[in-house]
Amino acid sequence: MSSIPAKTTTDDVKANVKRAFPGAIENAVLARKVSYTLSAQGFGKNNTQLATSFCCDEVNRELDDELRAMYGFNFNMGGLAGFPFGGVTSFGAMSHHIPNGGSCLVVYGPHVGVDADGNVGKINRKGRTGNGACCGSAAAAAAYVKGVTNGTSKAAPGPEEPTDAQQTWVGSALLPHGERLINAEDEAVELPNALFEGIDEMMKKIVDAGCGEVAGKGLIALLGGIQINTPGENADYFLVKEFQIRNNKGEVVKTKDDLDEWWGESTN
């Protein structure tokens, strides 16, 4: 059982999420909107290969499930904090799994918890009393970055062994945002936004390098944002920050603004 206080309602959880992340929508709604919007661009369950890059934390599997219901099994590119650590190799492999004449949808981003009391960066986990960090990798990286930025610790060298290489990279990718985190009005809200920028940059570099592996007239839909985990049986949410379609030359053929025409008409 979850440790959610009895007084906390679904409306309370929704209000807490909306207050911290205006514009976030429930995962189930997101999946329907994405399916509707992309169907107008020729994407369907039988011709689309789904790929995701989310943190390996078990609380993130709900969105995988919602997207799989629309597109079938997903190819996993992600690792700690949601960075696409599978890299160009994983994108190329996924591209070779696209159904003949089809396209791919890549969904990516960091995650953050909002607990029963409205604390951002925390979550009430099943079977555990109290709350805990969410995302733990992001919290550890933020502590490292603040220490380097304020001079109380030194920047770590690049990983020499794979035993914790992903976490070392998460910290390195977040390091340019040290002052931003220290000066943020709410560091817990700012952290996933900063992480998204690093993940988005990395994903687009991967797509630029690997897009030619998509055959024929296949397209690459990129959907990026912040996944927001909530306690108990409450719905999780997603804040869309990027949505575009590229061709296999890496050229953007539909921007987020272009897709808003269909997005706004989709089922809520």
Q: pLDDT tens digits for 93-114?
A: 999 999 999 999 999 999 999 9
Q: Render the burial of 239-255: b for 16+ CB within 10 Å, e for the rest.
A: bbbbbbbbbbeeeeebe
Q: In which band, very low, low, confident or very high, does the pLDDT at 26 lie, cut at 50, 70 and 90?
A: very high
- For the segment 151-163, the average pLDDT, to the nearest whole number, is 87
pLDDT attached to residue 160: 78
Burial class (CB in 10 A: 0-12, 13-18, 19+), 268: exposed
Indicate if the pLDDT at residue 3 is higher than 50.
no
- For the segment 220-228, the average pLDDT, to the nearest whole number, is 98
Contact 120, 186 (CB under 8 A): yes
pLDDT attached to residue 165: 94
Domain count, the chain: 1
Q: Which domain holds residue 87?
A: 10-135+193-263
DSSP for 151-208 reads: TSSPPPPPPSSGGGHHHHHHHHHHGGGHHHHHH-SSHHHHHHHHHHHHHHHHHHHHHH
Residue 169 lies in a domain: no
pTM, two decimal places: 0.92
pLDDT attached to residue 8: 64
Indicate if the pLDDT at residue 232 is higher than 90.
no
pLDDT attached to residue 7: 56
Residue 250's nearest CA partner among 195, 199, 212 is 212
Contact 78, 52 (CB under 8 A): yes
- For the segment 112-133, the average pLDDT, to the nearest whole number, is 89
Residue 140 lies in a domain: no
pLDDT attached to residue 130: 81
Indicate if the pLDDT at residue 268 is higher than 70.
no
| Token pair belonging to 137 | 């990798």
Residue 143 lies in a domain: no
Q: In which band, very low, low, confident or very high, does the pLDDT at 128 lie, cut at 50, 70 and 90?
A: confident
Residue 44 lies in a domain: yes
Residue 114 lies in a domain: yes
Indicate if the pLDDT at residue 67 is higher than 50.
yes
